[in-house]
Amino acid sequence: MRTIKAIFILCFLTISFGCSDFLDKPPYGVLEADGFFNSAERLKQGLTDAYNPLGFYNYEVPLMVLGNIVTDDSEKGGSGVNDKIEAYELSRFRAVASNSICLDFWTTCYRGIFNCNTVIDKSESIQDGNQELIKRIVAEAKFLRGYYYFNLALTFGGVPLATSALTPTELDLRRSSYDETWDQIERDFSEAAASLPLRSQYDPSDLGRATKGAALAMLAKSMLMRQKFEQAEDVLNQIISSNEYELLDDFGKIWKDEYENSSESLFEVQHENTASGWMNDTEGSWIPLQSNGRKNGGYGFDCPTEDLRDEFEPGDPRLVYTLTFSGDIMRGIDVIDNSESPTGYHNRKVYIHPDDRASPFDDQGYNIRAIRYADVLLLYSEVLNENNKPNDALAYLNMVRERARNTNSHDPMRTHQVVDIEVDLPDITVTDKNELRELIWHERRVELAMEYHRKFDLVRQERYGEVMRQFADNYDTDKGKLFNDNYHYVCPIPSAEIDRSEGKIVQNPGY
In a domain, 146, yes or no: yes
**Whether residue 177 sits in one domain with residue 304:** no
Predicted pLDDT of residue 369 = 97
148-162, 274-288, 419-433: the lowest-pLDDT one: 274-288
SS3 string of 293-322?
A: CHHHCCCCEEEECHHHHHHCCCCCHHHHHC
Is residue 32's pLDDT more than 50?
Answer: no
pLDDT digits (tens, 9 = 90+) for 67-119: 999 999 999 999 999 999 999 999 999 999 999 999 999 999 999 999 999 99
Q: How many domains does the chain have?
A: 2
Predicted pLDDT of residue 282 = 59
**Whether residue 99 sits in one domain with residue 67:** yes
In a domain, 203, yes or no: no
- Sequence-separated (6 or more) residues with CB below 8 Å from residue 343: 75, 77, 303, 304, 305, 306
- Report, as an integer, the average pLDDT of 478-498: 97
Predicted pLDDT of residue 312 = 98
In a domain, 161, yes or no: yes
Nearest C-alpha neighbor of 210 from the set 141, 273, 154 = 141
- Report, as an integer, the average pLDDT of 428-450: 98
Is residue 442's pLDDT more than 80?
Answer: yes
Who wins on pLDDT, 11 or 270? 270
Domain of residue 448 covers 235-270+283-351+364-461
**Whether residue 177 sits in one domain with residue 71:** yes
In a domain, 225, yes or no: no
Helix (H) or strand (E) holding 76: strand 74-77
Contact indicator for 89, 76 with CB cutoff of 8 Å = no
In a domain, 455, yes or no: yes
Percent of the chain residues past pLDDT 90, beyond the cut = 82
**Whether residue 498 sits in one domain with residue 386:** no
**Whether residue 491 sits in one domain with residue 436:** no
Predicted pLDDT of residue 12 = 34
Is residue 38's pLDDT more than 90?
Answer: no
**Whether residue 295 sits in one domain with residue 188:** no
pLDDT digits (tens, 9 = 90+) for 228-274: 999 999 999 999 999 999 999 999 999 999 999 999 999 999 998 76
**Whether residue 501 sits in one domain with residue 387:** no
In a domain, 23, yes or no: yes
Q: What is the pTM of this model?
A: 0.93
Quick one: pLDDT band at residue 358, thresholds 50, 70, 90? Answer: confident
Who wins on pLDDT, 497 or 10? 497
**Whether residue 47 sits in one domain with residue 178:** yes
Quick one: pLDDT band at residue 8, thresholds 50, 70, 90? Answer: very low
* Alpha-carbon span 224 to 387, nearest angstrom: 13
Predicted pLDDT of residue 468 = 98
**Whether residue 490 sits in one domain with residue 457:** no
Contact indicator for 206, 1 with CB cutoff of 8 Å = yes
Q: Output the domain CATH number for residue 132.
A: 1.25.40.390
pLDDT digits (tens, 9 = 90+) for 388-413: 999 999 999 999 999 999 999 999 99
In a domain, 54, yes or no: yes
SS3 string of 432-448?
A: CHHHHHHHHHHHHHHHC
**Whether residue 323 sits in one domain with residue 255:** yes
Predicted pLDDT of residue 279 = 42
Is residue 196's pLDDT more than 90?
Answer: yes
**Whether residue 399 sits in one domain with residue 326:** yes
SS3 string of 167-207?
A: CHHHCCCCECCHHHHHHHHHHHHHHHHHHCCCHHHCCHHHC
Is residue 334's pLDDT more than 80?
Answer: yes
**Whether residue 173 sits in one domain with residue 100:** yes
